[in-house]
Chains A and B, each alone.
Chain A
Amino acid sequence: MSAAPDAILAVERLSMRFGGLVAVDDLSFNAQRGHITALIGPNGAGKTTVFNCITGFYKPSAGMIRLSHRDGQTFLLERLIDFRIAQWAKVARTFQNIRLFPGMTALENLVVAQHNVLMAASGFSFVGLLGLKSYGTAERAAVDKARYWLDRTGLLGRGDDLAGGLAYGEQRRLEIARAMCTDPVLLCLDEPAAGLNARESAELNDLLRFIRRDHGVSILLIEHDMSVVMEISDHIVVLDYGVKIADGSPAAIRDDPKVIAAYLGVEDEEVEQAEAEVGR
């Protein structure tokens, strides 16, 4: 499959094997620029493995992951070391089990994510920290930006609290805010709605729409909560046992017999849940 003209992310024939286990098998899909693309599938389908390959946690056994910026620059993510993926390719991610810096304040979590801007402002050196004017300015700008995202995620009052002490839903939002502070072009969210109640899920939908609309960031999303997936996704890719079984618009996915079969193949309650959520 060749990349569509405006695909921000093109995954081509990606495979990831762990010993004899094939977690992802010959997977190809595109994520369009400015779209919210959802990656769904039953537990163990290989969704998080795909994320780990995109963000440099794993080195894929085979295949190519191409990310292209608006200006035409392209990066082969499988060849970049992890911190370059954030620094050059500008991909940010969040985790299924939240990974903040728990011993730093919420604000510091957001400022440390702006490392690269501050790094450049301090002249990439030790001396820069001690008194370069550009560093002082950049540091203030970084704090302003952090406050902006705290405000956007409804955490403005919690800026000076330790991240580890925030409530679960707040930690989820802070993690998204931190990812946004790295100035990404592609934001990868691993189950952002997990553990959120209905009201918080609705707020999350609004936040994600805002990020896409006002910041032009494309989103790739793993999610089990169908109320989130069906409502905000432009495009859905369905995985089962590491293989892509469907790829299309939410409406098409909802009616795809293969998708329903994949969900039927798992435990009863999850089937009922899935059926209820897709409205069958």
Chain B
Amino acid sequence: MEYFLQQLINGLTLGSIYGLIAIGYTMVYGIIGMINFAHGDVFMVGGFIALIAFLALVAIGVSAIPLALFLVLLIAMGLTALYGWTVERFAYRPLRHSFRLAPLISAIGMSIVLQNYVQIVQGARVKPLPPLVEGGHTLIASEDFAVQLSNVQIIVVTTTLLLLAIFSWLVARTRLGRDMRACEQDLKMASLVGINIDRTISLTFVIGASLAAVAGIMYLLYYGVVDFHIGFVAGVKAFTAAVLGGIGSLPGAVLGGLLIGLIETFWSAYFSIEYKDVAAFSVLIIVLIFLPSGILGRPEVEKV
């Protein structure tokens, strides 16, 4: 029981990170029907920016951890958003009216470019960050096992929930969210009611990238290391999460992320750690056989 609870906590933490990345995939897919394969690498860039920002802040003497965390959050979100914007502006927008596969190929290219760029600039070795947030709480202690909830896990989960709440409000209640949903449903019609669709698409990438940056910070805090290659696996997992939850659906992305995180964690805990990815992807396949549009996805309705 204690062991189960511990794995549940670990799984939810990991799932939150996947969920944050998955939102970026699902939003971009919703609005322009394209899989942004470079999104995982934008997450990785976010992690690196966070690492550099931490070290820079420590170097100039900002030693209060909460303040440093907050500043890093702002810096990483801002700069990563700039990366997201740039990727869309230069790699996808010129191909908007091209055939469907062109931006997809461009996205794969962009992913390779970002990976190699970071590899060259930062080196290929794993970069560690000394643990900043230490300690935790023992929830239940029995004779042979104590359930630990570390402070990092609390930060990861609460930040994720907070951002999701803000973000859901933004999409459901504000002008920006309405514009995005209108673009999602009928891009051309949206422009006819006066919405600047290029701007709205850019903003979607900016929001997706800044959430990926948050995921990058959380990853860095949780694992304490980043390297140029983390974006690939995390990206594929988050993409899986988005598809599992129903691509195009925001709550679906989060739900999918949590599920992938839980499956992976429980499989590693009870069966074998080597095959955790196999388990996650097998569940994806099974779900897609029975629910082709994902758990919360809307089924495609044929227009008559």
> Residues of A with Cβ closer than 8 Å to B?
55-57, 82-83, 85-87, 92-93, 99-104, 108, 111-113, 115-116, 118-119, 122, 126, 129, 135, 139, 178, 181-182
- 9 additional contacts, CB 8 Å, given A92-B193, A101-B181? A82-B188, A82-B191, A83-B197, A100-B189, A104-B178, A104-B182, A113-B193, A115-B175, A116-B194
CA distance A116 to B193 in the complex (A): 9
B175 A86 Cβ-Cβ under 8 A: no
Residue B64 interfacial (CB < 8 Å) = no
- With contact pairs A101-B181, A101-B186, A104-B182 given, residues A129 and B195 touching in the complex (Cβ less than 8 Å): no
A83 B195 Cβ-Cβ under 8 A: yes
Could you show 24 A-B contacts with beta carbons less than 8 Å apart?
A55-B192, A56-B191, A56-B192, A83-B192, A85-B192, A86-B194, A87-B194, A101-B185, A101-B190, A102-B185, A103-B184, A103-B185, A108-B181, A111-B178, A112-B195, A115-B178, A115-B195, A129-B174, A129-B175, A129-B176, A135-B175, A139-B175, A181-B193, A182-B193
CA distance A30 to B2 in the complex (A): 80
A93 B192 Cβ-Cβ under 8 A: yes
Task: Identify which of A85, A93, A104, A182 contacts B185 (C-beta below 8 A).
Answer: A104
A92 B192 Cβ-Cβ under 8 A: yes
Main secondary structure of the interface of A (DSSP, over half): helix
| Interface residues contributed by chain B, number (CB under 8 Å) | 23
Nearest-CB distance from A49 to chain B (Å)? 16
Task: Identify which of A103, A115, A139 contacts B193 (C-beta below 8 A).
Answer: A115
Nearest-CB distance from A106 to chain B (Å)? 13
**What residues of A have a CB within 8 angstroms of the CB of B195 in the complex?**
83, 112, 115
Task: Identify which of B170, B191, B193, B298 contacts A112 (C-beta below 8 A).
Answer: B193
CA distance A87 to B195 in the complex (A): 8
Nearest-CB distance from A57 to chain B (Å)? 8
- Count A/B pairs, Cβ under 8 Å: 76
Nearest-CB distance from B201 to chain A (Å)? 12
CA distance A194 to B211 in the complex (A): 46
Task: Give B183-227 as 1s and 0s: 1 = Cβ < 8 Å from A's Cβ atoms.
Answer: 011101111111111000001000000000000000000000000
CA distance A92 to B195 in the complex (A): 13
CA distance A112 to B196 in the complex (A): 12
B186 A99 Cβ-Cβ under 8 A: yes
Query: Which 5 A-B pairs give the minimum distances between C-beta atoms?
Result: A86-B194, A83-B191, A118-B175, A87-B194, A113-B193
Nearest-CB distance from B207 to chain A (Å)? 9
B175 A119 Cβ-Cβ under 8 A: yes
Interface residues of B in 137-179 (CB under 8 A from A): 170, 174-176, 178-179
CA distance A61 to B197 in the complex (A): 25
CA distance A252 to B192 in the complex (A): 34
B179 A115 Cβ-Cβ under 8 A: yes
B178 A108 Cβ-Cβ under 8 A: yes
**What residues of B have a CB within 8 angstroms of the CB of A181 in the complex?**
193
B178 A86 Cβ-Cβ under 8 A: no
B174 A115 Cβ-Cβ under 8 A: no
